[in-house]
Amino acid sequence: MRRPFIAGNWKMHKTTVEALELADGLKAALADVESMDLAVCPPASALGVVSDVLAGSNIMVGAQNMHWENSGAYTGEISPVMVRGLATCVIIGHSERREYFGETDATVNKKLKAALAHDLVPIVCIGESLEQNEAGETVSFVGGQIRGAFEGIPAVDAQRVVLAYEPIWAIGTGRTAMPEDADRTIREAIRDVLRDLYDNPTAEAIRVQYGGSVKPDNMADFIVMPEIDGALVGGASLKVEDFAGIVKNAAAALQK
């Protein structure tokens, strides 16, 4: 049984003061949730205050990105060692990082290895564009992203990876994938490829979140899908009531 995992990606939102307020609100609203893992990923500037507020709570803290080197002349970057002091998770290879900041499957692979070496929980994002989707290339493209991300990573480490399948055309658009389509893509482009790279137990152990316009009123439709183990939430993670609504609706749907 894979333990469900819902994470909020705050992207480039929230000043330190606003982040503190949101973290405080979520801590209170979600204190009784035991059936799943939870995380919030504030901008790097707020990792310190948010990790202070959430220390000892049931909500983990994650960074949205990091470099793969421990230190060095990389202006503007933060390293795995720095993240490790403030967070337990790290998002790697979000489609916005790939599109606007030149990240590739090769940099994702380096970051993933660094995250695993530093005992961080990596949330690796993969997903196809609208053009690729319409051209029927989803399975081959996402499968290629998976092969690139996991290159040279042994099975024992691979099991610690969390994947977020986020069709790019569903991110921030209000247009979600059909839950059945997302489920099929995860099976064919992710689990089948992981089974090929590793073995059945490894493929079945790795958690896969869905991401792309997840809201309180559609979360249940995704979480009940056999291959979907949670969500990576952008816009709807910025308000206490929305993120708490997503988590509670997921928990209720799983209890049925």
Which residue is associated with the tokens 């939102």? 13
Binds ligand PGA (CB under 6 A): choice among 4, 211, 216, 230: 211
Q: Are 229 and 2 in contact (CB under 8 A)?
A: yes
Asked if residue 234 binds ligand PGA (CB under 6 A), the reply is yes
Asked if residue 233 binds ligand PGA (CB under 6 A), the reply is yes
227, two tokens = 């291959």
109, two tokens = 């692979």
> Going along 67-120, which residue ranges are E strands?
89-92
**Residue with smallest beta-carbon separation from ligand PGA:** 234
Binds ligand PGA (CB under 6 A): choice among 212, 219, 225, 251: 212
If the CB atoms of residues 145 and 213 are measured against ligand PGA, the closer one turns out to be 213
Asked if residue 171 binds ligand PGA (CB under 6 A), the reply is yes
d(CA 47, CA 42): 6
Tell me, rounded to whole angstroms, the distance of Cα 253 from its chain centroid.
Answer: 20
Per-residue contact flags (x/-) with ligand PGA for residues 151 to 170, judged by CB under 6 A: ---------------x----
Asked if residue 182 binds ligand PGA (CB under 6 A), the reply is no
Q: How far is the CB of 69 from ligand PGA (least distance, A)?
A: 25
Q: How far is the CB of 100 from ligand PGA (least distance, A)?
A: 12
Largest CA distance in the chain: 52
If the CB atoms of residues 172 and 201 are measured against ligand PGA, the closer one turns out to be 172
Q: How far is the CB of 13 from ligand PGA (least distance, A)?
A: 10
What's the burial of 34, exposed, middle or buried (CB within 10 Å: 0-12/13-18/19+)?
exposed
Q: Are 189 and 144 in contact (CB under 8 A)?
A: no
Asked if residue 61 binds ligand PGA (CB under 6 A), the reply is no
CB neighbours of residue 70 within 10 Å: 13
Q: How far is the CB of 174 from ligand PGA (least distance, A)?
A: 8
Which residue is associated with the tokens 């992710």? 190
Asked if residue 43 binds ligand PGA (CB under 6 A), the reply is no
Q: How far is the CB of 222 from ligand PGA (least distance, A)?
A: 12
Asked if residue 230 binds ligand PGA (CB under 6 A), the reply is no
Asked if residue 99 binds ligand PGA (CB under 6 A), the reply is no
DSSP 172: T
If the CB atoms of residues 203 and 219 are measured against ligand PGA, the closer one turns out to be 219
Report which secondary-structure segment, H or E, holds 174. Answer: none
d(CA 210, CA 14): 24
Residues within the interface to ligand PGA (CB under 6 A)? 9, 166, 171-172, 211-214, 232-236
